[in-house]
Amino acid sequence: MLAGELYRPDAELAADQTAAEHWMARYNASGASSGAELHALLSARFRKVGKDAVIRPPFFCDYGSNISLGDGVFLNFNCVILDVVEVVIGDRTQIGPAVQIYTADHPRDAATRRAGLEFGRPIRIGSDVWIGGGAIILPGVTIGDGALVGAGSVVTRDVAPGATVAGNPARPRQA
């Protein structure tokens, strides 16, 4: 799964997802907790959580263990990260409410899908990126440092460092 190769969900993955569901229930019920308590909860589940990283609950993910957050990262309410493979978010990146980040993908061939096979493609979001509310980041996308993604955009391709993209599909815009 982590190598991006085809896999079939099994009992071990189901157990990992169940553990993540229990973690999300605790995290999402902890709205009144201090910043330090929320950071500790994130650190208990995620691969890496940088200094002063914040995710405002509610938050949803597949596993959590494939997510790395840099220093000062901020995710607003209602974000979803399908992390069947690695998701890396760089320092000081800000992500608006209801943003969805999808690494999970499915074969284009119907017979392969029917066989229950899946795969994932990693997502890398650079430092100092701003992603507007409701944006969707599709599998395999890299967003370069300092880029801006407009609210409601569907990002289907890599975004160059410093670029501004918007729309469905997201296309370069003049800043």
- Give the up-direction half-sphere exposure of residue 13: CA atoms within 13 A in the CB hemisphere: 12
The pLDDT of residue 50 is 98
- The two tokens of residue 44 are 């208990």
pTM of the model: 0.94
The pLDDT of residue 49 is 98
- The two tokens of residue 170 are 């997201």
The pLDDT of residue 32 is 61
The pLDDT of residue 77 is 96
Mean pLDDT, 10 residues at a time, the chain of 175 residues = 79 92 95 83 97 96 97 98 97 98 95 92 98 98 98 98 98 86
Q: Which residue among the candidates 26, 51, 106, 113 is catalytic per the annotation?
A: 106
Distance (Å, whole) CA 145 – CA 130: 10
C-alpha distances in Å from residue 161, one per residue of 97, 105, 121, 127:
22, 25, 20, 9
The pLDDT of residue 35 is 85
Name the residue among 144, 116, 112, 114 with its Cα closest to residue 131: 144
Distance (Å, whole) CA 82 – CA 13: 13
Phi and psi angles of residue 40, each rounded to the nearest 5 degrees, phi first: -65, -40
Q: Is 106 a catalytic residue?
A: yes
The pLDDT of residue 175 is 61
